[in-house]
Amino acid sequence: MSTAKNSDFLLEIKDLKKYYPVRGGFFRKKIGDVKAVDNISLELKKGETFGLVGESGCGKSTAGRTITRLFKPSDGKILFEGRDITNIRGRELRNIRQDIQMVFQDPYASLNPKMMVGSIVSEPLVNYGRGSEGKLKEEVMNLLTKVGLPEDAYYKYPHEFSGGQRQRIGIARALALKPKLIVADEPVSALDVSVQSQVLNLLKSLQKEFDLTLLFIAHDLSVVKHMSDRIGVMYLGNLVEVADADEIYRNPKHPYTKALISAIPQPDPRNKSKRIILSGDVPSPQNPPKGCPFHPRCPEAMPECSEKRPLLKEVNNNHRASCLLYE
């Protein structure tokens, strides 16, 4: 392993791409690509929560799964603790998975209904030969308590729990191996607000306690802002803006980020802010527009926006945006 020069960074992603092949015709020949992740570069500092936000289909889940190497990247580089994990396979990949865990959106689908909660949470420990025989159960009980479940949850099955509790089970499982990085893909999107706040508080306190680095994916900017130190905004497979959470909200640069923020209905009837209403629909990632991916809908588009592709560039201290207005 290299002695990482950027030792502050747990994870570095450079020009990451993930394309899904589109097949058609009689011979199921490849006829195109869904450019689900077209270009993402970012770094996660140790111990930070980085929020990835964007609308449906912009590639958040694909990005999350490619970063955790559940998927093989189409192009680009992924460095974990300075080590290139872009193309590792087999035993190496298996080993790295101990350090990188995922929590999924759907607490109903992501847990095996036939397994006892105790087995679900201990499975990763058993798989990696961690946690000694006698201690295993104690360890799992500890984890269950940590995530706020009663100890007798150990002997129950997922269907006996509510959505919020199932999400806690998923979190306990992800924590079992004491990973360095957790990628949480819409962990609260399926939950009611009153339960959502319980799970968000839990994630935040665990992140502190275990000094976790957290990649928090969601489509709800209020939730992402509450959770994150820094935020990246995605549009059509591209990262279009990155900044500190507060900065992105107070001082958005990219026209898409501005529209996104203005579109969020605020729970305050005395403060009906002006919405920026975007025209048109999100283009298909199979056939993204030339130039800036946002130009067909951008209220600030200039003639060159349909020709030239903007790059993610520093526009302020620690504030990057990809928009020709700032080039």
Partner 1 sequence: MSNNEKLLEIKNLHTGFDIEGKTYHAVKDVSFDVKSKEVVCVVGESGCGKSVMSLSIMDLLPKHNGKIDKGQILFQGKDLVPLNTKEMNSIRGKDISMIFQEPMTALNPVLTIGFQMDEVLINHTKLKIEDIRKKSISLLKQVGISRGEQIVHEYPHQLSGGMRQRVVIAMAIACQPKLLIADEPTTALDVTVQAQILELIQNIQEEVGMAVLMITHDLGVVAEMADRVVVMYAGQVVEESDVDRIFYNPQHPYTKALLNSIPRLEEEQEELNTIKGIVPSLKNMPLEGCRFVDRCPEAMPECKKITPRLGETEEGHSVRCILYDASRPKSEGEVRL
Which residues are near ligand SF4 by CB under 6 A? Answer: 254-255, 292, 294-295, 298, 300-302, 305, 310, 323-325
Distance CA 315, CA 327 (A): 9
Among 101, 196, 207, 213, binds partner 1 (CB under 8 A): 196
Count of residues in contact with ligand ATP, rule CB under 6 A: 13
**Would you state the structure tokens that stand for residue 167, as one six-digit string?**
């999400």
Write the interaction track for ligand ATP spanning residues 197-236; mark x where CB under 6 A is met and - where it is not.
Answer: ----------------------x-----------------
| Tokens (6 digits) for 36 | 């689900």
Residues in binding contact with partner 1, number by CB under 8 A: 41
Residue 239 CB, shortest distance to ligand ATP, in Å, is: 12
Q: Distance between CA atoms of 24 and 32, rounded to whole angstroms? A: 9
Size of the site for Mg ion (CB under 5 A): 1
Pick the binder of partner 1 from 55, 99, 123, 244 (CB under 8 A): 55
Q: Does 62 bind Mg ion (CB under 5 A)?
A: no
The answer to whether 63 and 92 have CB atoms below 8 angstroms apart is no
d(CA 322, CA 256) in angstroms, rounded, equals: 10
DSSP letters spanning 141-196: HHHHHHTT--GGGGGS-GGGS-HHHHHHHHHHHHHTT--SEEEEESTTTTS-HHHH
**By the 8 A CB rule, do 147 and 172 touch?**
yes
Residues found in the chain: 327
3-state helix, strand, coil in the chain (%, to 5): 35, 25, 40
Residue 156 lies near partner 1 (rule: CB under 8 A): no
Does 322 bind ligand ATP (CB under 6 A)? Our answer is no
Binder of partner 1 out of 2, 3, 194, 317 (CB under 8 A)? 194
Return the range that interacts with ligand ATP (CB under 6 A); candidates 8-16, 51-59, 113-121, 241-249. 51-59
- Binding residues (CB under 5 A) for Mg ion: these are 61
- Binding residues (CB under 8 A) for partner 1: these are 55-56, 162, 164, 192-198, 200-201, 204, 219, 221-223, 225-226, 246, 249, 259-270, 272, 275-278, 281-282
